[in-house]
Structure 1
Amino acid sequence: MVIEDLSHEGNGVGRYQGYTLFVPGALPGERIQAKATKLKKQFGYARLMEIVEPAASRTVPPCPIYKRCGGCTLQHMDYQAQLEFKRKLVEDNLRRIGKIEGVPVHPTIGMEEPWRYRNKAQVPIGEEEGGLIGGFYAQRSHEIIDMEACLIQHEKSDEVVARVKEIAGKHGVRAYNEETHGGLLRHVVTKVGFATGQIMIVLITNGEKIPNRDALVNELVSSVPGVTSIVQNINTKKSNVIFGDETRVLWGEEYIYDTIGDVTFAISARSFYQVNPVQTERLYGKALEYAALTGEENVIDAYCGIGTISLFLAQKAKHVFGVEIVPDAIEDAKRNARLNGMNNVTFAAGEAETVIPKWYEEGNVADVMVVDPPRKGCDEKLLDTIVAMKPERVVYVSCNPATLARDLRILEDGGYRTVEVQPVDMFPHTSHVECVVRLYLKDE
């Protein structure tokens, strides 16, 4: 069978006697032998058995647990080929779902060094022969693959996880067991400030009491240079949700700090903060370019989170209004505005599709609208408000080309013209791609 394409998940796509098969690990242009594993009416899945003729883009994955871990899906593909795959994925979605053709989709902005780029790790903890293990879940399972190093995480995250396993195990801390709901340590979360070098360790526990807590904390502090915050998050729920509702500082500060461009951010245990700071600066820089601000514009930032894009825009805007559904994120956004001495920003907690129409009714009209929605895309009510409000420019930041294409179709039908699309590789060696899109109001 010859592989013709890649799916949005990075699986090879081939046809056998006209029947479509998805083959993980196969690349376009390869002739392979595969064994069917799951067949449906229109398509099926197959396991790669042998590569008869390899693609020119095939490379050897450097990660020793790549085939077992579900974290990366494209390490076997040359990086330049990954960037072109992501550009083509965006272009195909625009054409197929959005019926948008002829719009420039620029080459994907990649990384000079596409390794060790993640500033955050969320590592599940388990037990094996009496000792603590920690790593990532195997593909499509909750089996924990123990690891010593993850090549897309900051090196400090590897060091923290290794020390936690060693020190917590020595002090009698047991790992959480999903089946029995017993044990204590569920996850270790690390956050690293790339610009500041500050490190936060979050211990997520199935209960309040940590055996030998003070000794454990002191040993972590002394064994990992750069640690400025150790936090406990308590999660006793029987669910796959990582964080619980209660967070306590065990040692050090409640926040670590990092900078993107000229803007400083305070990051708490539960703050959402882009995981690739190098590419985030490029992503937001492109959003700022597409907003084409002169200092006279009112800007609305829907889905503003902790104010990352809002504060970038505030450097050039007259005033920025940000809205976010998570109240804690809005408090972080206000704190970050104060931290940077920015007075031309206003943040509100609530659903973008509720708050922004209310602002519109009150006469708060945006010259520029920026949206950065979750994977499900923009709420239809928000899109209707944009069409009614008619800001001169819309900047759409997307993490899902499919919902992006759907929403662009609605905006185009409502009077907007998609001018250009810039993919940005925020997550090298995975199939994910972010985009920044420039839209202008059509001349009436």
Structure 2
Amino acid sequence: MSKKRTNLPVQKNERLDVTFQDLTHEGAGVAKVDGYPLFVPDALPGEEADVKVVKTGKNFGFGRLMERHTTSDQRVDPPCPIYHWCGGCQLQHMNQGAQLALKREQVVNALHKYMNRGDIRVHETIGMDKPWAYRNKAQVPVAERDGELIAGFFAKRSHHIVDMDHCLIQGDQNDAAIQVVKNILKRYDIQPYDEGSGRGIIRHIVARNGRLSGETMVMLITNGEGLPHKKNIIAAIRQEVSGIHSIVQNINTKKTNVIYGERTEILLGEKYIEERVGKLRFALSPRSFFQVNPVQTEVLYEKVLQFADLRGNETVIDAYCGIGSISLFLAEEARKVYGVEVVGEAISDARKNAKLNHISNVEFSVGNAEEVVPWWRAAFGIQADVIVVDPPRKGCDEKLLETMIEMQPERIVYASCNPATLARDLRILSEGGYEVKEVQPVDMFPQTTHVESVTRLVRR
């Protein structure tokens, strides 16, 4: 009995010859069969190929590239030996120019979709001279395979770990630290955590490095307080990891994909390592958020400062201020900066960083920006000339957007890591009386599909 065919133009397991026309925001090639989009990884526009349909949906399907008949001039050979299995990078098969163009296109397409605007000036993406070995933090999950501890990154669209001996986008010191710690844990037969059963000890290995200070922090994420051979493991890490400044244990006993637990213990050394961006110094605690690419972070922050257009007499509010990195850049040019962040530990770090850099014209508060900013205004009469936001991927809280519109600052600077939520929020601000002047994409994460951007808005 033959399988019932759907009314779609393609069927699962069907082999087709296609020509790719476009790329998705995740870097997959897009081919259309009678108008039906088929998304295929590792394919580039203009290439002709034989593909196998692996999944179909009502509006689009997915395919696997079986054989390329032609090759795009944008294609390069990925230097990473596990690139086609590991999910850490998505664009190593594209040259840098094509990657930068794709990231700008992500922003342009989002503005079209959410704002129906094609006239907003979106600059060319600012890339890196050396788009490799840029990450200052590695978070590597561990698992057991054939009775042995492995550590690497998840395969594409799975929780299957691809064992890794070397990562080309990690900083060399972090990369080496991960491998050393992995081997030490294997030496002492430390059992990896199993997601299914909830048993096992070690969940993640984290390495963080200060690019200019050379200081390295190693963090062991464990499923409970116990860590067999703890003293020996600490001694081995201290002896074998180059530049070790701090060894930390974070305890996470929840059955969750979230990496960190609430409790952190310092096993050796200091609670902080130091990172620098421009001439500013930052003390990074184990769980504090900081941009992973310090070279491009300086580019990004300089663009924020340029768009803020400070003359020295402005009051600035930095919502979602984190450990105060953008706030301190702004404070050097403003009269006063107020930063707000919901994570109390980050605010403690922000205050420490202000003292570290001898900056006194900045104040930090703990709380939700959408609650604290209106309170500042009502209780203290604080009126911002410029508001800077750098929200998480979900974008700004709607109440904060309403408050920003009510406060009527002269300028708003919006740093974003998600073009879709950026465009959604820009539409609200535009309807509230602000003109979107320009957007500057910055390639913070070369070889991946992620793009950061900075937008300049002025009050009409």
TM-score clears 0.5: yes
Query: Which segment drifts farther, 162-171 or 231-240?
Result: 162-171
Equivalent residue for 2:437, pick from 410, 415, 419: 419
User: Does residue 92 in structure 1 map to residue 109 in structure 2?
Assistant: yes
How much has 1:127 moved relative to structure 2? 2.1
Q: Deviations over 1:154-174 (max 9, x none)?
A: 112221122112212222311
Counterpart of 2:422 in structure 1 is 404
How much has 1:11 moved relative to structure 2? 1.2
Counterpart of 1:29 in structure 2 is 46
Task: Give the partner amino acid of 1:374.
Answer: P
How much has 1:128 moved relative to structure 2? 2.7
**8 Å Cα contact 1:100/1:409 also seen in 2:** no
How much has 1:71 moved relative to structure 2? 0.6
**8 Å Cα contact 1:99/1:409 also seen in 2:** no
Counterpart of 2:15 in structure 1 is none
Counterpart of 2:400 in structure 1 is 382
1:109-128 correspondence to structure 2 within 5 Å:
109-128=126-145
Counterpart of 1:231 in structure 2 is 248
Counterpart of 1:322 in structure 2 is 339
* Structure 1 stretches of at least 4 aligned residues deviating more than 6 Å after TM superposition: none
Q: Deviations over 1:338-370 (max 9, x none)?
A: 111111111111111111122222321100010
User: Does residue 344 in structure 1 map to residue 361 in structure 2?
Assistant: yes
What CA distance in whole angstroms lies between the structure 2 residues aligned with 1:427 and 1:232? 28
1:187-198 correspondence to structure 2 within 5 Å:
187-198=204-215
What CA distance in whole angstroms lies between the structure 1 residues aligned with 2:231 and 2:196? 29
How much has 1:331 moved relative to structure 2? 1.1
User: Does residue 289 in structure 1 map to residue 306 in structure 2?
Assistant: yes
Counterpart of 1:159 in structure 2 is 176
How much has 1:131 moved relative to structure 2? 2.7
> Percent identical across equivalent pairs?
55
User: Does residue 66 in structure 1 map to residue 83 in structure 2?
Assistant: yes
SS of 2:179's partner is: helix
Counterpart of 1:205 in structure 2 is 222
What CA distance in whole angstroms lies between the structure 1 residues aligned with 2:186 and 2:120? 56
What CA distance in whole angstroms lies between the structure 1 residues aligned with 2:452 and 2:186? 39
What CA distance in whole angstroms lies between the structure 1 residues aligned with 2:202 and 2:333? 45
User: Does residue 432 in structure 1 map to residue 456 in structure 2?
Assistant: no
1:359-398 correspondence to structure 2 within 5 Å:
359-362=376-379, 363-398=381-416
User: Does residue 138 in structure 1 map to residue 155 in structure 2?
Assistant: yes
SS of 1:97's partner is: helix
**8 Å Cα contact 2:321/2:339 also seen in 1:** yes
SS of 1:2's partner is: strand
Unaligned runs of 5+ residues in structure 1 are none
Q: Deviations over 1:112-170 (max 9, x none)?
A: 00000110001111223333211111112111111110100111222112211221222
**8 Å Cα contact 2:234/2:268 also seen in 1:** yes
How much has 1:231 moved relative to structure 2? 0.4
**8 Å Cα contact 2:224/2:252 also seen in 1:** yes
Q: Deviations over 1:167-187 (max 9, x none)?
A: 122223111112222221111
Q: Deviations over 1:3-26 (max 9, x none)?
A: 111111111111011111111111
SS of 1:209's partner is: coil
TM-score normalised to structure 1 length = 0.98
What CA distance in whole angstroms lies between the structure 2 residues aligned with 1:244 and 1:381? 29
Task: Give the partner amino acid of 1:343.
Answer: S
Query: Which segment drifts farther, 165-174 or 232-241?
Result: 165-174
SS of 2:111's partner is: helix
TM-score normalised to structure 2 length = 0.94
Q: Deviations over 1:45-89 (max 9, x none)?
A: 111112111111011100000010011110000111100111122
What is the number of residues matched between the two proteins?
A: 442
**8 Å Cα contact 1:187/1:204 also seen in 2:** yes
**8 Å Cα contact 2:140/2:153 also seen in 1:** yes
Counterpart of 2:350 in structure 1 is 333
What CA distance in whole angstroms lies between the structure 2 residues aligned with 1:166 and 1:387? 54
What CA distance in whole angstroms lies between the structure 2 residues aligned with 1:162 and 1:135? 10
1:297-316 correspondence to structure 2 within 5 Å:
297-316=314-333
Equivalent residue for 1:219, pick from 222, 225, 236: 236
User: Does residue 81 in structure 1 map to residue 89 in structure 2?
Assistant: no
What CA distance in whole angstroms lies between the structure 2 residues aligned with 1:144 and 1:101? 41
**8 Å Cα contact 1:320/1:345 also seen in 2:** yes
Q: For the aligned residues, what is the CA RMSD?
A: 1.1
SS of 1:347's partner is: strand
Equivalent residue for 1:102, pick from 114, 119, 122: 119
Counterpart of 1:249 in structure 2 is 266
